[in-house]
Amino acid sequence: MTKGTLNEFILDGTEIEISSYHTFLGSIITRDRYDNKEMSRRLSIGRKAVTKLEKSMKDRDIKKATKIKIAGTIIFPTVKYGSESLTVRKSEMKKIYAFELWTWRRILGLLWTEKRTNFSVLEDVNPKRSLEATVLRLKLRYFCHVMRAKRSLERDIILGQVEGHRKQGKPQMQGLTASRKQPAYDWKT
């Protein structure tokens, strides 16, 4: 995978495939550095976790509080994994909110035909913090962690600091010969 616009790469006479994304340490890295595939992948993993736990979610002998704790300890961490380093846009936040409400409705055993508002579902569950707020909190915690580091590349990038300094004044023109640097007119005559 390359960061630029490289379309062909040949090494020792063999053409090497160039891909638009790569999975590294459980996260998808894309060529354009936009994480919409990763967030969609995380949400689908969370949906799979909910469907695998569907038998226990439909069990009437398990209390609602226990089901809510299961969601907080098993389902939501799979969605939150690595979210502190992702670029989460408004469209992804809407998807996260929809996933969270879908999960709560499954836990409560509500059918889609029941006309219940999102607010009434959240009142029933009464979570400490929404999944959306948790993702934002993780991002802020990671930002604080990066900013506390004394000498790190991440901190320098966020602050826009570059070591060293340049000379005062206009930068010199490069690549010109000495004859072209002379003025076009002789002002002394």
List the structure tokens of 76. 């939501």
- Amino acid code (one letter) for 97: Y
Confidence bin at 98 (pLDDT 50/70/90)? very high
Give pLDDT, residue 147: 84
**Model confidence pLDDT, tens digit, residues 116-167:** 888 988 898 888 888 888 888 888 888 888 888 887 777 777 777 667 777 7
Residue pair 70/125 in contact (Cβ under 8 Å)? The answer is: no
Q: What is the pTM of this model?
A: 0.65
Arithmetic mean of pLDDT, 26-49? 74
Stated as kind and residue range, the H or E segment containing 21 is strand 21-24
Give helix 90-108 / helix 131-148 axis angle, nearest 10°: 130
Distance CA 79, CA 153 (A): 28
**DSSP 3-state of 109:** coil
Domain boundaries, the chain: 1-33, 34-159
**CA distances in angstroms from 69 to 18, 100, 101, 115, 177, listed in the order given:** 43, 14, 15, 25, 74
List the structure tokens of 57. 């979610």
Within 71-189, residue ranges assigned H as helices are 76-80, 90-108, 118-125, 131-148, 153-159, 178-181
